[in-house]
Structure 1
Amino acid sequence: MKAIWKGSISFGLVNIPIKLYSGTNQHRIDLDMIRKKDQCPIQYVRVCKKDGKEVPWEDIAKGYRKEDGDYVVLDKSDLESVAAEKTQTIDIFEFVKEEEIPSKYLEKPYIIEPEKQAQKVYALLREALKKSEKVGLCKFVMRTAQHLGILKVEEDAILLIQIRFNDELRDPEDAKIPTDIKISKKELDMAMTIIDQLTEPFDPSKYKDTYKEDLVKMIKKKAASKSGPKEPAPRKRKKAAPKDDLLDQLKASLAAIKN
């Protein structure tokens, strides 16, 4: 793995030199935009909306659009003046119980590896987190932006989980959430039975994103065939069941599980 960030963890007066690795893999196939008739690649250009002319990079600035349509032009020094101060430190400022953090705040995992000379103090922090059953709330700067995170132990590793700031989350009250729907005891009991029947210990190895694999197979098949595979027939949409037979749907679901 290639380290994406180097720095240290600040734990009280203790400093732990570390390397940071991405904790995820991207399973993505790059597809180019082309013109259908001759497979000519499409090139994106920067064009002025007013005169339709291409604009070179040296003439491009960043601007904030005001309500009247005019722009406040921001140059490099303006943006640098408000950018987070670049530091190479993950600063732990508080410890909390992990279960106190709602899952909606969790965003992106990173793997923390200690430098050779910091292995003992890394192990000390790991064991202290384990024994306390807490996670360390921390702040760090990456690519000029400040982030919030937690340091938690996963098996023998300390992970940095980037979390969202509170003002980045939307309020569910902005959506139309039903709150006054009456559910009968029979319907609820049947739903609980379905949940019980489908309950298993969580095993992430059972779940795989097969899209990339299926896409590669389809591309190879189409490349080997002159005419290419036939267009798949459109899927037939299932008709929505009447609103008043919810109990029948629950019974059918339970029967399907048992079979």
Structure 2
Amino acid sequence: MRALWKGSISFGLVNIPIKLYSGTNPHAIDLDMVRKKDHCPIQFVRICKKDGKEVPWNDIAKGYKKQNGDYVIIDDSDFEKAAPEKTQTIDIFEFIKEEEIPSKYLEKPYIVEPAKEAKKSYALLRAALAKSGKVGLCKFIMRTAEHLGILKVEEDAILLIQIRFNDELREPPATAAPKDVKITKKELDMALSIIEQLTETFDPEKYKNTYKAALMKVIKKKSSAKTTSKAAKNGTSTGKTTKRATAKDDLIEQLKASLEIIKN
């Protein structure tokens, strides 16, 4: 596994050389865009909206569109002026309780690996975080952008969880949090009963992303056998379908039906 970032963690006056690795394994399958009739790959070109001509890369600049429609051209020197000072340090500036961070702020996990000479200082930070029950709030620079994150203990390792800045989040609209709705005790009790019936201990091993495997199965099947449009039209789907209650149905009846399905 290739390191995404090399630097160090600044913990008071302690400096811990580390490497960062991606903490996720994307399930995306690479697909190209092709023309249907002959499978010719599609090439995207940069076309000027005014004259319809293709624009070569060396004639392209980045521009900020103003309200009057004109553009302010931004070049490399402008980006350098605005960019934060480049450092290779993850600076811990506060310690907080993890439960104080709403889940909407959590964004991306990284695995923190210590350099050979930093194993003891890494172990010290890990033990201190675990003993305190807190996480280290930190800032770091990656790919010219400043990020906010927390350093936390997960099993025997330290993870860096990138979190969002407050101004990156949208406030939910009023329609997302209706306040003029009356809920009866019976409805609430039945909803709580459903939650109780479906409550389990979280076990991530139980949950699999089946879409990638299913799509690859379809791709292999189509690759090994010539499928005709006639066969596709004649294909049928088997299996039982479960009738779901609609929004027009009575809420109590929906709750009763839900409990009945769970019990069976």
Shift of 1:173: 3.6
2:37 maps to what in 1? 37
Aligned mates of 2:224, 2:96 — CA distance in 1: 57
Count of residue pairs the alignment pairs up: 259
- Taking the TM superposition and a 5 Å limit, the aligned residue runs for 1:26-175 are 26-173=26-173, 175=175
Distance 1:243 1:183 in 2: 17
Kindly tell me: are residues 213 and 239 of structure 1, through their superposed partners in 2, closer, same or farther at Cα, counting changes over 3 Å?
A: closer
Superposed displacement of residue 28, structure 1: 1.4
Counterpart-to-counterpart distance in 2, 1:88 and 1:162: 16
From the superposition, tell whether residues 174 and 249 of structure 1 become closer, same or farther in structure 2 (CA, over 3 Å): closer
Establish whether residue 187 from structure 1 lines up as the match of residue 192 from structure 2: no
Cα deviation for residue 223 of structure 1 reads 1.4
Partner of 2:13: 13
Query: TM-score, length-normalised on structure 2?
Result: 0.93
Q: Choose from 218, 229, 232 the match for 1:230.
A: 232
- Structure 1 residue runs of 4+, over 4 Å off? 231-240
Partner of 1:203: 203
- SS of 2:250's equivalent in the other structure is helix
Residues 72 and 119 from structure 1, CA distance in 2 versus in 1: closer, same or farther, beyond 3 angstroms? same
Contact 2:9 2:17 in 1 (8 A): yes
Q: In the alignment, what sits opposite 2:253?
A: 248
**How large is the Cα RMSD of the aligned pairs?**
1.9
Q: State the match for 1:257 in structure 2.
A: 262
Q: Which amino acid aligns with 1:257?
A: I
Residues 106-150 of structure 1, C-alpha deviation per residue, up to 9 Å, x if partnerless? Answer: 000000000010000000000000111100000000000000000
Mean CA deviation greater in 241-250 or 128-137: 241-250
Q: CA deviation at 1:183?
A: 0.9
In structure 2, what is the Cα distance between the partners aligned to 1:154 and 1:242? Answer: 42
Q: CA deviation at 1:222?
A: 1.1
- Which secondary structure state, in structure 2, belongs to the residue aligned with residue 230 of structure 1? helix
**Secondary structure of the corresponding residue to residue 232 of structure 2:** coil
Shift of 1:238: 6.4
Q: Could you tell which deviates more after superposition, 229-238 or 84-93? A: 229-238
Q: How far apart are residue 167 of structure 1 and its match?
A: 0.3
Is there any run of 5+ residues in structure 2 with no aligned partner, and where? Answer: none
Answer whether contact 2:245 2:254 (CA < 8 A) is retained: no
Give ranges in structure 1 of 5+ residues lacking alignment: none
Query: 2:104, 2:201 → 1: CA distance?
Result: 22
Distance in 1 of aligned mates of 2:258 and 2:243: 15
CA distance in 2 between partners of 1:156 and 1:120 (Å): 14
| Same amino acid, percent of matched pairs | 73
2:131 & 2:60 partners in 1: Cα distance?
54
